[in-house]
Amino acid sequence: MVFTSRKEDQRTLVPPYAVAGGCFALIALWYNYVMANLFDRLRDGLRDKLPKIDFFKKTADTFVGIDIGGAFIKVAEIGGRNNKPVLKTYGEIALGPLSGLEVGQATNLPTQKLAGALTDLFREANVKSRDVIFSIPLTSTLLTTIEMPDLGEEKLKEMIPIEARKYIPTSISEVSISHWVVPRITRTYVDPDLAMKNKNAPPKVEVLLAVVYNDVLAKYNNIAQEIGATSVSFEIEIFSTIRSILGHDTSLTMVLDIGAANTKVALVEEGIVRSSHLISAGSQDITVALSRAKGVPMIKAEEIKREFGLPGDPADPTIAEIVRLATDRIFAEADRILAHYQREKRVAVGRVILSGGGSRMKGVLDLAQKSFETTVVYGDPFGKVESPAVLESLLKEAGPEFAVAVGLVLRKLSD
């Protein structure tokens, strides 16, 4: 197994651990403020439920974003210098081999093994800070926008837990709930039939509802203690991704984050998440399809996928077909989600931004452009931090995989 350590001025290979491998001013200020308050409220609700760690206490100007995915852990250590974020180091470690699986395969490791893997990654990547921010997987959250009567913030606080029961498939005591009133979209189209129907209705507001399972937060808190964290924060991963890769465009943008086990979809307008979805298919499904169709072990199928991708092997045309069919499933579902939103909201997508390790497979960008018939680009989270010019091409290539980790720290530095 090989560990890849990426630092400011070098790239080294060190055995034995495995790795393969915004918005404009006003909206940015609003967005960071909203997310900070969402998790301030989560923090307040957790104080009596978790071991005593100072959540959100800013103790240093260098922080570590930790993205624990199904197949890899990714970290990015970034510090502030003259009010500019500066990359210190970054790296990733594969989790499959720690569970008897191959690199790139999704796992479900216990807390102790995750903490051990993270400790190894910190050591090999030479991570110094212990002020950490964990991403919370979208699979462990409920994130939705609901309409509520405009009765003021105090009354909303009373009504939200009652309304949330309609969406939560478990006891309220098992989750932490937070909410925020979001600005309405300023585009001019108004459905005349809907306007007439609601003419005499009381005013309403859109509320962003964020629900996180307490046992998930407790799990990450335990990992933080194992690695000697001095300060711990949390953020739902989709917000971190958007912060690190979204630019200044106010038009509808679809963020497509292709992971190992699943794919996250976020529809963003005017810098705000308006809809989020989870597709139960990811890059691992492509490897599985190759393994079954060609009758080869998973490790060999992963090698084929990484070497040839969507263009396939000229000596074996069936490989391109197998990979394309598996990838089409992801894009078809994402396109269905996008088409529904465009039809419902009467708005056209401006562009699609790709992120996640699965997006780096050869040919994905070209297929995405054909599938969505719009501008498709890769996310470039490292473009928002200072780093040596000699690493520019390397960081640009690795960027989509580290969107969450970088976005976590950018949030913390903006507090």
57 has pLDDT over 70: no
Residue-wise pLDDT for 229-251, tens only, equals: 999 999 999 999 999 999 777 88
Residue 200 tokens read as: 């005499």
Domains and CATH numbers, the chain: 3-413 (3.30.420.380)
Q: What are the E-state strand segments in 162-250?
A: 175-182, 204-213, 231-236
Provide the pLDDT for residue 188. 54
Residue 262 tokens read as: 């699943």
164 has pLDDT over 90: no
Three-class secondary structure of residue 273 per DSSP? strand
Q: Distance between CA atoms of 284 and 6, rounded to whole angstroms?
A: 24
The alpha carbon of 79 is separated from its chain's Cα centroid by a whole number of angstroms, namely: 21
User: Residue 203: which pLDDT band, with cuts at 50, 70 and 90?
Assistant: confident
Q: What is the dihedral of CA 178, 181, 186, 192, to 10 degrees?
A: 100
Choose the weakest-confidence range: 24-28, 238-242, 386-390: 24-28
Which has the closest alpha carbon to 342: 364, 366, 374?
374
Tokens 């600005």, located at residue: 183
Residue-wise pLDDT for 126-149, tens only, equals: 999 999 999 999 999 988 888 888
pTM value is: 0.82
| Size of the chain in residues | 415
Residue-wise pLDDT for 267-307, tens only, equals: 999 888 889 999 999 999 999 999 999 999 999 999 999 99
> Is residue 194 packed enough to be buried (19+ CB in 10 Å), middle (13-18) or exposed (0-12)?
exposed
28 has pLDDT over 50: no
Provide the pLDDT for residue 60. 55
The alpha carbon of 318 is separated from its chain's Cα centroid by a whole number of angstroms, namely: 33
